[in-house]
Structure 1
Amino acid sequence: MRTVVVTGSASGIGKALRELLTTQGDRVIGVDLHDADVTVDLTTDDGRAAMVAQVGDLSGGTVDAVVANAGLALGIPATVAVNYFGALATLEGLRPLLAGSAAPRAAATCSMASLMQSDPELVEAMLAGDEPRALARAQAVADAGLATMIYSSTKAALARWLRRNAPTPAWAGAGIPLNAIAPGVVVTPMTADLLATEQQRTAMASVVPMPLNGYMGPEAPAELLAWLISPVNTHLCGQVVFIDGGSDVVIRGDATW
């Protein structure tokens, strides 16, 4: 039995992953604002520290996999706090607990939104690790009427951080595959308000085209995450795997870089 930590476990992709892993016989330590084994707010330093401490206690000091999945899709600074800094606090904070596993694995939930327009200043503030500056920049972006760029910026920064760190001694050198998924539109409570009307769904399709089977339920990305953190994944390193019904292909064509 493997012990897996999943943030954002109370709904959406995180809930689907928790249920899938549980049916496979794994032990899941769920982290969320409610209905979880560890109830904390990952937008705050105190919440992040409490998450690390409580997971350490519940796991006995060893976990086999960590999935940084918690996130927001709102055009507010809190999205920066949880999507980027909360994800890094999860991955880096729990990395020492992976040392005792025979097959340690880590993954994050990114997004196909990482392909969309982002704010360079906000992205750079996140990659510099300057949370106060990043939060201030996010507010400025929102005040300028560009709030939709906050989410895409967090996912672009997370993908870049992952690519930079996955092959380093701390991750690959320690035998820990670190990868991410990039879902297209997933029908979850987080996206419900964006897909409430036919007009909204049509508008979304123009921005996120998904020619293969359209919008998906959370079970599809959960299956991919489950594979990324399984022992059979021995050599995937620093990859952001798009599970988006073809959005990446439609948007970028045959260009892979």
Structure 2
Amino acid sequence: MKSEPRTYVVTGAASGIGAATADLLAAGGDRVIRCDLRDADVLADLGTREGRERLAEGVAAASGGTVHGLVAVAGVGDLSPAPVRVNFFGTLATLDAVRPLLARSDRPRAVVVSSLSAVVAADESLAAACLSLDEEAAAEAAAKVVAAGYGHTVYPSSKLALNRWLRSAAVSPDWAGAGIPLNAVAPGVVDTETARKFVFGDPAARELVETMMPQPLGFPGPVEAVASLLAWTVSPGNAFMTGQILYADGGAEALLRP
């Protein structure tokens, strides 16, 4: 028997994994508040303080004050300091804004999107800079990494920092103590518009990525498989798992870290 409809917030919902997850949740009869830079119910740039405030205000208004599940997908992958601001600090701001709304609901859940790339290409010092929780200092550190020619490490470093923050926060009074499971899903390379633009269109780039992140179950992977895992983590059925990084990567993490 289907339970009462739940209200979900999905960031990064205009395309890719976010859109697929939002569509899947909506198809199940639940209400979805879509957040993104465009084509969404709440328009907000998570790389800025103003955008984060708009997200908090928009979600509070659209939800009526109660949210059952948060799926934080929004992120950027360009070779600039932006991933630090959006992927790490923007995600933390989203979690902070939505947590009180989750706490008012029955069987609340939250999940963030990480990345397999955190395993293979992250910069430990940049991840540590993020975990200092000083956004301006972390962005400055990222700018120095980019200037030194290592901009490709900023995205995975932001995800590594997110993983480490989550492992600690998930079991804290704010989350587990409030009865809110908080987890991460770390996809490998899946068939999104972004991957087609930056990876599949360049044979050399594709070969490099396939070598760094081998996926025994296929390259690229299906977006729908990641969306279904995200949807399950915020479902009532996920009642006893928290603080976990779930690799939806076709087996790559098992190969890289046997």
**Pairwise TM-score range, normalised by the shorter structure:** over 0.9
- Tell me the amino acid that sits aligned with residue 232 of structure 1: G
Following superposition of structure 1 onto structure 2, how do residues 1-257 of structure 1 map, counting pairs within 5 Å?
Answer: 1-192=5-196, 193-253=198-258
Alpha-carbon offset, residue 79 of structure 1: 1.2
Question: What do the CA deviations read for 1:188-247 (whole angstroms, capped 9, x no partner)?
Answer: 122122111333322221011001133112211000000000001011110000010111
SS of 1:31's partner is strand
Alpha-carbon offset, residue 60 of structure 1: 0.5
Contact 2:187–2:248 (CA under 8 A) maintained in structure 1 = yes
**Partners of 2:145 and 2:203 in 1: CA distance:** 29
- Tell me the amino acid that sits aligned with residue 252 of structure 1: R
The normalised TM-score by structure 2 is 0.96
Alpha-carbon offset, residue 3 of structure 1: 0.4
Alpha-carbon offset, residue 146 of structure 1: 0.6
- Tell me the amino acid that sits aligned with residue 36 of structure 1: A
Alpha-carbon offset, residue 122 of structure 1: 1.6
The normalised TM-score by structure 1 is 0.96
Contact 1:9–1:30 (CA under 8 A) maintained in structure 2 = yes
**Partners of 1:4 and 1:85 in 2: CA distance:** 21
SS of 2:154's partner is helix
Contact 2:167–2:244 (CA under 8 A) maintained in structure 1 = yes
Greater shift, 186-195 or 90-99, is seen at 186-195
**Partners of 1:234 and 1:39 in 2: CA distance:** 31
**Partners of 2:191 and 2:137 in 1: CA distance:** 33
Q: Provide the identity percentage.
A: 47
Question: What do the CA deviations read for 1:151-180 (whole angstroms, capped 9, x no partner)?
Answer: 110010000000010011110011100001
Contact 1:8–1:32 (CA under 8 A) maintained in structure 2 = yes
SS of 1:129's partner is coil
**Partners of 2:139 and 2:205 in 1: CA distance:** 29
Question: What do the CA deviations read for 1:36-89 (whole angstroms, capped 9, x no partner)?
Answer: 000111100010011001100010000001111101111211111110011001
Structure 1 portions without partners, runs of 5+: none
Contact 1:72–1:190 (CA under 8 A) maintained in structure 2 = no
**Partners of 1:197 and 1:237 in 2: CA distance:** 38
- Tell me the amino acid that sits aligned with residue 61 of structure 2: D
Aligned pairs, number:
253
**Partners of 2:151 and 2:248 in 1: CA distance:** 25
SS of 2:112's partner is strand
SS of 1:81's partner is helix
